[in-house]
Amino acid sequence: MSSVQGKEMSDTSIKAGNPELTKTRDKPKKLQLLVTLSGKQTMTYGLIGALVFFGLWEVAHLLTAEEAKRFLPSPLSVVQALITLIQEKDYMADVGISAYRIFGSFFIACAIAVPLGILMGCFAPIRALINPVISGARYLPAASFIPLLLVWFGPTDSQKMALLVLGVVFFLIALILDNTEAVAKELIEAAQTMGASRREIVINVVGRAASPAIMDSMRNMIAVAYTYLVIAEIVAAQDGIGAVMMRAGRFLKVDVIMAGILTIGIMGVLTDIVFRVTAHYAFPWNRKRKG
């Protein structure tokens, strides 16, 4: 008995004497700080995360009382609803019109925000002139413009796209202004001492230097455009994913509503991938070096 106790004590004392050693040995390797994963490992983890999510959803569905199950359909029946929508309800046309609204309006927002943000970042008087209005506008909820836009445009595509533009453009300008101001002052001065014109510096030095960060801002803001899509298509819309979901809601077709949410999720993931891949190939000089 006493010998066993003694052994235990000596064990703990060794551990206590080498806290550093014990820590590194006991902790799972991948949860150390600064440890990176291979592409394959990252994919595997992502897949596990997704499976756990759908698994929990399925479990929640199974645990729901029989008469309430239609309010929490299983993941499979949501996929089934999605397939039915595509095959029988010409759903891809709605997806297409929603995609057109998102990308069309986002293109307009970028066409306004990129030049304006860069000019504001480069020239103090332009910044001073525009910044107060832009900063204030960011705090206005875009949805509050819906009545106004309905009066101006009627229940048209233009009205929906105007809402999407209003929803992102002010944030986009502010982000691109930040991206531009973050360009090192020395890059500009170096170009000046080389005799570069003001136009050359704004476009080919500041614009180029800020472009990866601007691309990141755009990738982040298009996600916000997606959130406004449903708001835009819930009010006075006959077509688009949001309208399909709204109609389904009236008939308590929860599986169709969820299919709509799933569609937007899938579109969002695809959009994100497109932005990342584009950035990877457009800015080979900015690729993160592998440690």
Partner 1 sequence: MKLKRDISEHNIISVNDVTKTYLGGTFTAVDNVSLNIKEGEIVAFVGPSGCGKTTVMRMVAGLETPTTGGIQVSGHDVQGPGPDRGMIFQAYTSFPWLTARQNVEYGMKILGVPAAERRERAQILLEEVHLIAAADKYPAELSGGMKQRVAIARTLAQKPEVLLMDEPFGALDAQVRWEMQEMMVEIMDVEKKTVIMVTHDIQEAIYMADRIVFYTRTPGRIKEDVYMDFKKGYRFTSKEDLLSQPGYLEIEKQMFAWMREEIQLQAA
The residue ranges that bind partner 1 (CB under 8 A) are 184, 186-187, 189-190, 192-196, 200, 205, 208-209, 211, 283-287, 289
Structure tokens at 138: 């960011």
Evaluate whether 263 touches 199 at the Cβ level (below 8 Å): no
Min dist. Cβ of residue 91 to partner 1 (A):
43
Which of 126, 188 has the CB closer to partner 1? 188
Min dist. Cβ of residue 194 to partner 1 (A):
4
**d(Cα 168, Cα 226) in Å, to the nearest integer?**
10
Evaluate whether 157 touches 249 at the Cβ level (below 8 Å): no
**d(Cα 134, Cα 31) in Å, to the nearest integer?**
42
**d(Cα 167, Cα 153) in Å, to the nearest integer?**
17
Min dist. Cβ of residue 122 to partner 1 (A):
16
Min dist. Cβ of residue 185 to partner 1 (A):
8
Structure tokens at 179: 């991206």
Min dist. Cβ of residue 212 to partner 1 (A):
9
Min dist. Cβ of residue 113 to partner 1 (A):
21
Min dist. Cβ of residue 242 to partner 1 (A):
40
Evaluate whether 236 touches 163 at the Cβ level (below 8 Å): no
Which of 86, 213 has the CB closer to partner 1? 213
Which of 77, 211 has the CB closer to partner 1? 211
Burial class (CB in 10 A: 0-12, 13-18, 19+), 145: middle
Which of 107, 283 has the CB closer to partner 1? 283
Of 233, 200, 238, 217, the residue nearest 90 (C-alpha): 238
Which of 138, 287 has the CB closer to partner 1? 287
Which of 185, 250 has the CB closer to partner 1? 185
Which of 209, 218 has the CB closer to partner 1? 209
Min dist. Cβ of residue 182 to partner 1 (A):
13
Evaluate whether 235 touches 146 at the Cβ level (below 8 Å): yes
The amino acid sitting at 191 is A
Angle between helices 157-181 and 124-137 (to 10 degrees): 130
Which of 119, 187 has the CB closer to partner 1? 187
Evaluate whether 74 touches 257 at the Cβ level (below 8 Å): no
Structure tokens at 12: 């703990």
Return the SS3 of 6: helix
Evaluate whether 224 touches 168 at the Cβ level (below 8 Å): yes
